[in-house]
Amino acid sequence: MPSAISTGASTPPIVEVAELAREFGSRRAVGGVTFSLAPGECLALFGPNGAGKTTLIRVMTTLTPPTSGTARIGGHDIRTDPDGVRHILGVIPQAFTSDPELTAKENILIHAKLYEVPAANRDALIDGLLESVELLQFRDNLVRTFSGGMRRRLEIARGLVHSPRIMFLDEPTTGLDPVSRTHVWEMIRTLRDKSELTILLTTHYMDEADKLCDRIAIVDHGKLAALDTPIKLKDSVPGTEIVEAEFEGASPDWNEQLRGLTGATGVTEHDDVVHITTHDGPATVAALMDLARARKVKVKKVSVQSTTLDDVFLHYTGSALRDAPQKATYEPSPFSR
């Protein structure tokens, strides 16, 4: 395992997680996680469903008690000062938590009162928040008439009502159509650019983690497999490009022969698709075609692509991200315990 679990910038961290673990019976959903976040940083917890991302978020946001370890959020310990943690956090849970029978304004208003936002500031604040998520014109509409994307944007606005220092977003675009997803991404980018907000988001979309965050933590089976910037994570995978190919009539030692191709740094195979990591994609493909012709192996398909987070995930966890959900263990609903 590489030493990719780094601790952000040199400024004092605003989030410090130390050996945090959460068990449900004999199953360990989060297993001794340690990392930290600098103020204003955006970190993505990237992994498949069931990897433990949501449980980790719930423990850090005081919704679920940890089994062992602890976390300090803005200097407040989640075990000893949960109320202090709640005051400085804005959380957008994975499931929609806005009330469909209330209007957009009422949803934010109720939360403003729960956070004791002064009455004199509320109306202007609510209008400003709704404007920032482009929902001002729907201020007095019932939330049950909103699309999933609108509802998510409303919840982001609601999460900002008390001017939190840290924002937790648990799979903010899951279930949204591509247009809504792009819209939410733009909002998160705007949040980052315009404020000093520290953002921790979970996702199983590699493009989301890649485009939005400064650093990415690869989460697998409740543990951090790697944590670094997207570029460094990709660089940590041997080879900068991937040649994907499918063959017919290959001998058993075919993959061994492929390791000797020009520029090749590694060969893996999943579902009859061979992945060759390489420093020089075109040269590797040319050598591959020559070798196949010489060995009378039919090349059914070949393509060259840059290293993606999926390759990073594969490299660090030994399984492709798309395979991982099937392996994911069942995480009980908090309401069934």
Binding site for other proteins (CB under 8 A): 58, 61-65, 83, 86-87, 89, 91, 93, 95-99, 101-102, 106, 110-111, 113-116, 334-337
- In the complex with other proteins, which residue's Cβ is closer, 114 or 289? 114
- In the complex with other proteins, which residue's Cβ is closer, 44 or 78? 78
CB of 14 to other proteins, least distance (A): 18
Burial of 295-332, coded b for 16+ CB within 10 Å and e otherwise, reads eebebeebebeebbbebbbbbbbeebbeebeeeeeebe
Distance of alpha carbon 300 from alpha carbon 308, whole angstroms: 23
CB of 254 to other proteins, least distance (A): 51
Please name which of 222, 160, 239, 243 lies closest in space to residue 197, comparing C-alpha atoms.
Answer: 160
- In the complex with other proteins, which residue's Cβ is closer, 145 or 251? 145
CB of 152 to other proteins, least distance (A): 13
CB of 302 to other proteins, least distance (A): 47
Burial of 145-175, coded b for 16+ CB within 10 Å and e otherwise, reads ebebbbbbbbbbbbbbbbebbbbbbbbbbbe
Which token pair is 181? 């997803």
What are the beta bridge partners of residue 22? 30
- In the complex with other proteins, which residue's Cβ is closer, 154 or 276? 154
- In the complex with other proteins, which residue's Cβ is closer, 88 or 302? 88
For the chain, report the end-to-end CA distance as a whole number of angstroms. 35
- In the complex with other proteins, which residue's Cβ is closer, 142 or 320? 142
CB of 94 to other proteins, least distance (A): 9
Distance of alpha carbon 189 from alpha carbon 31, whole angstroms: 31
Residue 90's CB is within 10 A of a number of other CB atoms, namely: 25
CB of 324 to other proteins, least distance (A): 25
- In the complex with other proteins, which residue's Cβ is closer, 83 or 196? 83
Distance of alpha carbon 226 from alpha carbon 159, whole angstroms: 29
Cβ 197 vs Cβ 191: under 8 Å: yes
CB of 96 to other proteins, least distance (A): 7
Please name which of 53, 36, 29, 19 lies closest in space to residue 166, comparing C-alpha atoms.
Answer: 36
- In the complex with other proteins, which residue's Cβ is closer, 202 or 278? 202
Please name which of 70, 42, 74 lies closest in space to residue 56, comparing C-alpha atoms.
Answer: 70
CB of 147 to other proteins, least distance (A): 17
- In the complex with other proteins, which residue's Cβ is closer, 154 or 314? 154
Distance of alpha carbon 113 from alpha carbon 321, whole angstroms: 42
CB of 337 to other proteins, least distance (A): 8
In angstroms, what CA-CA distances link 232 with 113, 207, 238? 44, 16, 12
